[in-house]
Amino acid sequence: MFKFTRAGVNLISFIITTIIFSIIQITLYQYVNGVKLNVNITENIMEKQDVCVPIETLKTDDIWQLEIEEIKLKADIVEGTSKEILEDKIGHFTETQTENGNIGLAAHNRGYKVNYFSNLKKVKEDDEIIYQYQDYKKTYVVTKNIVIKDIDWSYLQNSKENKITLITCIENEPNYRRCVQGIEKK
């Protein structure tokens, strides 16, 4: 018959405690990371897209640019709005159009290597936005420069009217975004 000694009981208790502690730690780690993902989901909507068109794969005649003369902005655009994309370029919301309809674009405005939308708050009604996608080139007239809730993505919905929608964060206001929208100049 097996005899329990004080040393044996202590060893078994230590092993069981270590196993329980490890299970709790793993469970808490997964729970905390899951909560972080859910809490930051509105902050990461612009990062949820992983589609990227590397610059080196574009043909030299494949131009995709945005220009706003009033704020001295001229920058390249690439597909997607992931963190990696927005660190170097203006990103295109993949759910939006690239030519006719509503074209949605995003960029940083502060705190990153490039902050293309840093002066977006200075854009006024009737300012012009020039957008070029390959051979498609249009001029848009700004109709609104507003602050929206970070969960209000209605401004990116497609429309029959040709529009361009630019979205960026607002400093120290994590629950809000700046939204500049323009319609095609006739």
Distance, first Cα to last Cα, the chain: 96
| pLDDT value of residue 24 | 78
pTM of the model: 0.68
Asked whether residue 167 carries a pLDDT value surpassing 80, the answer given is yes
- Cβ(106)–Cβ(155) below 8 Å: no
Beta carbons of 119 and 178 less than 8 angstroms apart: no
Q: What are the residues facing 133 on neighbouring strands?
A: 64, 136
For residue 153, the model assigns a pLDDT of: 92
Residue 41 in this model has a pLDDT that exceeds 50: no
15-19, 34-38, 115-119: which has the highest mean pLDDT?
115-119
Nearest to 50 by CA among 88, 90, 76, 84: 84
Question: What single DSSP character describes residue 57?
Answer: G
